[in-house]
Amino acid sequence: MKTTLHLTMAAFVGVLALGFSTLATTPAASADGKELYREYCKGCHEEGSPNGEYTPMSLIQDQWTRFFDKKYTRTHKSVIDEKHGGKPVTETISPEDLELIREFSIEGAADSEHPMTCG
């Protein structure tokens, strides 16, 4: 029992350390992610769009994860992106850029925590 506890503690410390190191790198990534989201997603998902309005705040983190893991290819592989050369959305966005968009969406999801401010 004791050993398990210690192992878990060690793992916990490990996660903390890793957690901090990924945290430290995200701000730069999310800045790019924001730009990329605006470039590749926003045009089709603005307020009032027939495709549905989507900003990171439209979905919770679990829903974004499910979207990128399971739904993105299916729902966007035959949607043509006229703004970027008339290819399907899935062929327009590189895997690296998509990863940054994914991080940005999850980070700003509807259930991410932020303090409230006036105005």
Partner 1 sequence: MRIVMLTTLIILGFAASATEAANKNRHERFVKNYEGTQTCLKCHEEEAETFFHTQHYQWRGATPDLVNSGGQELGKLSMVNDFCTNPTGPQWIGKVKNADGKTLAKGCSSCHSGLGKPPAQEISREQLENMDCLICHASGYRRDLYATEDGGWEWKPILWKNQEGLNSVARRIQIPDRTMCLRCHSASGGGPNFKRGDIEYTLKDPPRSFDVHMASDGKDMTCVDCHEGEAHRVRGRGVDMAATDSPDAPLSCEGECHTATPHEITALDMHTDRVNCTACHIPTFARDEPTDMFRDWSNIYFSEEKGKYVYTAEFEQNVVPAYAWFNGKSRVQVPGVPVDRIESGAVAIVLPEGSKDDPAAKIHAFKVHRGKLPVLDDKQWLVPIATEEFYAHGDIDKAVREAAESFYGMDEIEYSWNDTIRYMGIFHEVVPREDALGCLDCHRPGGRMDWQALGYDGDPLEDKLRASR
Kindly tell me which of 54 and 108 has the beta carbon lying closer to ligand HEC: 54
Angle at 29 between CA 64 and CA 52, to 5 degrees: 30
List the helix and strand counts (H, then E) for the chain. Answer: 5, 2
> Which entry of partner 1, ligand HEC, none binds 31, CB below 5 to 8 A by partner kind?
none
Could you say which of 30, 54, 103, 106 contacts ligand HEC (CB under 6 A)? 54
Kindly tell me which of 21 and 117 has the beta carbon lying closer to ligand HEC: 117
Taking the complex as a whole, how short is the minimal distance between the CB of residue 97 and ligand HEC, in angstroms? 8
CA–CA distance, 86 with 76 (Å, rounded to integer): 13
Could you say which of 48, 52, 86, 115 contacts ligand HEC (CB under 6 A)? 52
Could you say which of 26, 51, 94, 112 contacts ligand HEC (CB under 6 A)? 51
> Which entry of ligand HEC, partner 1, none binds 67, CB below 5 to 8 A by partner kind?
ligand HEC
DSSP letter string, 12-70:
HHHHHHHHHHHHHHHHHHHHHHHHHHHHHTGGGSSTT-TT----GGGS-HHHHHHIIII
